[in-house]
Chain A
């Protein structure tokens, strides 16, 4: 009898059920989409912040001082220590290797440059442009095109195993060279495949594949420094603690959190004789920006959950209030308060589940669309979210119906049937 009452109520009052179900579906859609966006926004903004540049730098441990003025390093090429290029693939083997979005080795070499005129002094900067690196089964194509996205090239990017170079635009103007020209660097004729504009020191340099710079300096496998771009968690007081003073469990927790400090520590372990450090300008401010945006979206998600909860409650209250004659009839026929309430709650639960599933699907699609159109990448929905969302939908629907159901079972059947309420 109970099942039949609920079934008939769905069969005969299609319009009302459709309205209430639509309200629930809409509320759940908004809630799902917002929760998905809120849980993923940190990662998305973190990736966007990587356009500001690498946040970690690895240098040789026993290095002499840099002589860097206005972005140009005037240190003699034979001075100081080098890192070994073959150790760089170890970067893909660290605990947080999935958080490494890219790295770029740098090897500046002072050279004589000539182009139809007297030779002048210039810096040849060897690096990866878009170089495949493998570590075990892990593969990453990396280089300045990932770590320095603000570098603009008119012409073509050179290939990493060619002897083509990029010419900084200030230097190109100075010597009057353009794309396609041949320049002589340290006695070798090189082809200029494009003109590079960066807005900083590299505008006055020649940028070449790393292997070429190593040949010029005569030190195969040598690298001066490596810039590493990693997705990190905003640092807190715990992140700043010294790993040497930590005990086992605390050390493990520190080691396994993607703080800039712990990733730097792991890079230092992976590359022999190296010193890794966070670039404070990038990593410090990143934390602040990230915390603000995450906080904002979190608060807005709360507002969205509140609004959708309210919409569901309002729809349920209206739907139940409209059925007071029905309640009056049931009561006149001798139904108890409990029986009536359980019918309404069963209907509410059914509606919540149906609307919740539909809402979850549309909400996932919506989150997907938002991810595609705003961030050009997918917002992934954890399947774990489904039971959580369904539970929230049922609770909110119950909470929204509770007041209306209580009033409905308290109606005097006489007035309800006469329609005087």
Chain B
């Protein structure tokens, strides 16, 4: 005995069961969060921490390379431009190298001859640009840098030979003599200690010899440095461009190993954080099996129930991910400041990954208990068994 009225009522009930009133759906979501504040907050807290840790790790992983590359530039030159067969480089090479580098590194010219001291001892004298060398070779331990013309920087081993009482001294090269005042001493522990350094202008005036070597500290990944080397070889065809192999190889090795270690650590931490979220959320949903049973007893369909819990999980995941992202960027910035004394550039490209990952993990942890509960009769749950 089906009357039109009862037919309408049944249709209505069926549609309610699958599609609830939007405001009702929203209210259920909100009330669920408000009424069980403690549990909801702890789930959100776990989510925020997981998202923050993930964001910070991904940011650091992307950024550590450029940070460490900067540290490695303190090792000085990684590219050397030399005249073929030891000859001088043509005039204007330095400005061409500078133009090619275009702020991607520093270059310093070096010219060298063997001169004689006043008592006839041979000694290596080099001309260079002190302003550039100070930026390039941070490990040079110098007492005072020369500041005016005809001042020399004397290596610690050369000092007792040319100027034991720190007095002015003469050097001669091919019959021409130069009178120099020692400005300070230089110590590196390597060949530089036996040399005397002059400004390039003084050196060229005195010897007439142009620079034969340009040392270049280029910044960037190994591929970028290779590209810079190719550009340099094209810009200065008369010179030989070669990498300082021990620096380039050492840097690549250390960077690679550090990044692998970081990746392993990131994987472990993200896994732990995800499991923490999973266990908290599964507990939360299990806890609410009475809500679930009541809704089911009142006639909610499976699709509606799944939708309800999924929407709740997605909302939790999204909110947690956003808060966590901001927090994680903060952590990455802090680590950058404390450890590298430079700010880590926030990577917003990480946000979609964190957001999707968070929502995926919350969805899994909501659906998992629901699919277990689905098989149980509401009456059994409501009786508290």
Contact = CB atoms under 8 A, between A and B. Distances in A.
Contacts of A66: 124, 157, 191, 194
Contacts of B141: 280
Contact of B275 (A26, A49, A295): A26
Task: Count chain B CB atoms within 10 A of each CB in A148, A283, A315 and give the residue with the most.
Answer: A315
B275 A23 contact: yes
B194 A68 contact: yes
Contacts of B260: 373-374
Contacts of B172: none
A49 B254 contact: yes
Interface stretch (A107-115, A123-131, A247-255, A300-308): A300-308
A19 interface: yes
B113 to A, nearest CB: 8
B335 A52 contact: no
B313 interface: no
Contact of A279 (B86, B189, B264, B269): B189
A284 B139 contact: yes
Contacts of A314: 42, 46, 276, 279-280, 283
Nearest to B336: A296
A370 B49 contact: no
Given A288-B71, A296-B335, A318-B279, A33 B191 contact: no
A296 B64 contact: yes
A63 B155 CA distance: 14
Interface string A274-316: 0001111111110011001101110111011011101100110
Contacts of B273: 307, 310-311
Contacts of B57: 300, 303
Contact of B339 (A27, A283, A292, A370): A292
B139 A281 contact: yes
Nearest to A370: B264
B338 A299 contact: yes
A37 B246 contact: no
Interface string A23-49: 100110010011001000100110011
Contacts of B272: 26-27, 30, 304, 307-308, 311
Given A49-B254, A67-B124, A292 B265 contact: no
Task: Count chain B CB atoms within 10 A of each CB in A63, A198, A300 and give the residue with the most.
Answer: A300
Given A198-B245, A285-B74, A292-B71, A311 B275 contact: yes
A198 B243 CA distance: 10
Nearest to B272: A307
Interface in A362-394: 366, 370, 373-375
A295 B338 contact: yes
**Interface range on chain A (Cβ under 8 Å from partner):** 35 or more
B213 A70 contact: yes
B152 interface: no
Given A293-B68, A311-B273, A37 B254 contact: no
**Interface range on chain B (Cβ under 8 Å from partner):** 35 or more
Interface in B245-295: 245-247, 249-250, 253-254, 257-258, 260-262, 264-265, 268-269, 271-273, 275-276, 279-280, 282-283, 286-287, 290
Say what secondary structure dominates the interface of chain A.
Answer: helix
B210 to A, nearest CB: 15
A30 B254 contact: no
B261 A374 contact: yes
A366 B123 CA distance: 57
Interface string A49-80: 10111000100000111111110001000000
Contacts of B112: 69-70
Given A292-B71, A307-B276, A52 B46 contact: no
A64 B247 CA distance: 29
Given A45-B254, A70-B82, A280 B283 contact: no
B30 interface: no
A315 to B, nearest CB: 5
A397 to B, nearest CB: 14
Task: Count chain A CB atoms within 10 A of each CB in B189, B258, B276 and give the residue with the most.
Answer: B189
A195 B343 CA distance: 46
B254 A48 contact: yes
18 contacts: A30-B271, A37-B265, A45-B258, A65-B158, A67-B124, A150-B250, A278-B189, A279-B189, A282-B75, A285-B139, A292-B339, A300-B269, A307-B276, A311-B275, A314-B276, A314-B283, A317-B280, A318-B282
Given A67-B114, A300-B60, 18 more contacts: A19-B279, A45-B257, A57-B189, A65-B121, A68-B124, A150-B245, A198-B245, A280-B190, A283-B189, A284-B138, A289-B68, A296-B60, A296-B64, A296-B335, A303-B269, A310-B273, A370-B264, A374-B257
Interface of A: 19, 23, 26-27, 30, 33-34, 37, 41, 44-45, 48-49, 51-53, 57, 63-70, 74, 148-150, 198-200, 277-285, 288-289, 292-293, 295-297, 299-301, 303-304, 306-308, 310-311, 314-315, 317-318, 321-322, 325, 366, 370, 373-375, 418-419
Q: Closest 4 interchain pairs by CB? A: A318-B283, A419-B384, A199-B245, A52-B250
